[in-house]
Amino acid sequence: MSRLFRGGNNEPGVSGRALPAAGGPTAVGSYAGSMVRDAQPPSQERRRGASLGLPAEGPGSLAGFGTRVLAFLVDAFLSAVVAGFFTAPDLPGNWSLLSLAVVYVVFLVAIGQTPGMRLLGLRLAHPRPASRLAPWRAVVRTGLLFLLVPTLVVDADGRGLHDRLTDTAVVRDR
């Protein structure tokens, strides 16, 4: 048996004894005696978008996951229809992915929202709202969106990895 498991996962010089109850006396040299306790317990209700300086509700607040997925599905359907015009009478297959990528990059750079986002009242917020989204941000964001996994890795605000890496956020427009 290794020394690490025998002695527990304590720091050197800290005993493996149980910690005393909160408010109780602490033994000299115990780990609990060196901890600083908060005066008040942290709030369990953190407002979405607070770390970004966004409002809790209304225009400018972070869009919900369901609304964002619905906007994506609208965009995917429209892109499949557009690709279908070029591949008719055959089904578009992977050409719809190319069409979707072009729609995402062009619309995000040009007007800051895709057709699906516009239909559902969403837009893409970025660090310089008075200017257009940088093309590299649109390309990287779209590429990560297509990988799917980065969109499912979300932070406390509900922003996906593709938004965090490009410093963007999908917010309500109305």
Helices (H), 30-114: 65-87, 95-110
Write the CB contacts of 104 (distance below 8 Å, at least 6 apart in sequence).
Answer: 75, 114, 138, 141, 142, 145
Q: pTM of the entire structure?
A: 0.69
Q: What is the pLDDT, as a whole number, of residue 156? A: 80
Q: What are phi and psi of 106, to 5 degrees?
A: -65, -50
* Residue 4 confidence (pLDDT): 30
pLDDT of the chain, 174 residues: tens digit per residue:
333 323 333 344 444 444 444 444 444 444 444 444 444 445 556 677 777 778 888 888 898 889 999 999 999 999 999 999 998 899 888 899 999 999 999 999 999 999 999 999 999 998 887 889 999 999 999 999 989 888 888 888 778 888 988 989 899 988
Sequence spans of domains, the chain: 64-125, 132-173
- At 81, list the tokens: 């229809």
The structure tokens listed for 134 are 């940088």
Under 8 Å CB-to-CB from 61, ≥6 apart: which residues? Answer: 48, 49, 54, 55, 171, 172
Please enumerate in sequence order all residues whose Cβ is within 8 A of that of 124, keeping only pairs 6 or more positions apart, or say none. 108, 112, 113, 117, 133, 168, 169, 170, 171
DSSP states of 113-154 as a string?
S-HHHHHHTEEEE-S-TTSPPPHHHHHHHHHHHHHSHHHH-B
